[in-house]
Amino acid sequence: MKALEISRWFPSLTMLFAANPSTDKPRLQMKNSPRLAAGAVVAALLLSGCVAPGHQAVPPAPACRTGDPLVQTTLYFGLNRPAGPAITAAEWQTFVDSQVTPRFKDGLTVFDAKGQWLGHDGKLARENSKALLLIHAPGKESEMNIEALRSGYKQQFAQDSVMRVDAPVCVAF
């Protein structure tokens, strides 16, 4: 029997290779099964912290020389509808007044944008858009408010997506 020691990492775990009587091939045998089970559970718990989250909404905060570390989120809202007329200035302003302002009372910036991308058919597509720039503290409340804006706009105006860009920033007034 040849021993494979892993005691350097897990002193209570020792695994042995032994010949399998039916095939004469090596097989793994484990000593100290209760300890092995406990060690496996501990290892699984420790390694579970190494899994990357599916979505990290906000990058780490910068070390600011001046100002406060906050998050800048820019949302891009397309103004074309899949069928029908473009979203009007009045419709956009109503959306801002009823959905955006109540969620971000501290302030916001809206500017016109012109987006373009390569469509599934290989043709260049262009669309007039509105960009909404928000400066906010990181946290669950901001995250929920931003996602509510995105989903609400997509539903209200039959949009496929609202692009979101997050960046850590230092803000001073």
Q: What is the pLDDT of residues 13-56, one digit of tens each?
A: 444 444 455 555 555 454 555 554 555 554 554 444 544 444 55
Average pLDDT over residues 154-171: 97
**CA proximity to 125, closest of 82, 172, 67:** 82
Share of the chain above pLDDT 90, in %: 60
pLDDT, the chain, mean? 80
Q: Where are the domains of the chain?
A: 2-48, 68-171
Given the structure tokens 């803000």, which residue do they identify?
A: 171
**Cα 118 to Cα 99: distance, rounded to the nearest angstrom:** 30
pTM strictly above 0.85:
no
130, 110 in Cβ contact below 8 A?
Answer: yes
The pLDDT tens digits of the residues spanning 80-120 come to: 998 899 999 999 999 999 999 999 999 999 999 999 989 89
170, 61 in Cβ contact below 8 A?
Answer: no
Architecture of the domain made up of 68-171: 2-Layer Sandwich (3.30)
Q: Tell me the pLDDT band of 148, cut-offs 50, 70 and 90.
A: very high
Q: Tell me the pLDDT band of 124, cut-offs 50, 70 and 90.
A: very high
Q: Tell me the pLDDT band of 73, cut-offs 50, 70 and 90.
A: very high
**Cα 12 to Cα 34: distance, rounded to the nearest angstrom:** 10
Given the structure tokens 């804006």, which residue do they identify?
A: 149
**CA proximity to 132, closest of 173, 89, 73:** 73
